[in-house]
């Protein structure tokens, strides 16, 4: 990414010394250290994945799988940062609920408190089933992970961990 802009902030000499020391301790220059702290690469990557999901939906399953894989490879700390201020407003209600359920599942698996903004996403009014086969509905109703069930999404996650 080409850097063409500059940001100037005012701080005390003690604050500046502290920032310089922390950057040096992590082996980075001040600019790189501050940018990494304020704009973590994981958060930006997740934003790009969500943005891609909001574009034409021809390959939605692949885009959801990419988001799932991203969430699963994060450490607990990185996950908390990446999902902390994520914006799902450009997604359809289905997509927003699906991503929210994936985030809740990843947070649960990594023992991270889910971000509070997830509560602002309205649950789907009608149930959605991953299969149109009526004979599978009971299975989907009972085997869907709790975050998905709470959002009226009924999926099968018994054949692997990808949801």
Above 70 in pLDDT, residue 106?
yes
CB 79 within 8 A of CB 106: yes
Predicted model pTM: 0.77
Dump pLDDT digits (tens) for 7-66.
888 989 999 999 899 889 988 888 888 877 776 677 889 999 999 999 886 799 999 999
């Amino acid at each position: 990414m080409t850097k063409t802009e500059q940001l100037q902030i005012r701080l005390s000499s003690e604050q500046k010394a502290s920032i310089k020391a922390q950057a040096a301790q992590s082996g980075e220059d001040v600019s790189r250290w501050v940018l990494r702290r304020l704009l973590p690469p994981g958060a930006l990557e997740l934003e790009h994945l969500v943005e891609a999901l909001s574009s034409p939906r021809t390959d939605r399953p692949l885009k959801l799988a990419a988001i799932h894989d991203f969430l699963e490879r994060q450490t607990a700390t990185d996950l908390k940062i990446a999902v902390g201020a994520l914006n799902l407003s450009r997604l359809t209600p289905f997509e927003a609920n699906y991503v929210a359920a994936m985030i809740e599942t990843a947070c649960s698996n990594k023992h991270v408190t889910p971000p509070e903004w997830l509560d602002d996403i309205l649950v789907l009014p009608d149930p959605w089933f991953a299969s149109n086969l009526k004979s599978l509905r009971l299975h989907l109703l009972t085997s869907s992970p709790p975050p998905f069930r709470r959002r009226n999404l009924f999926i099968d996650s018994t054949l692997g961990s990808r949801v």
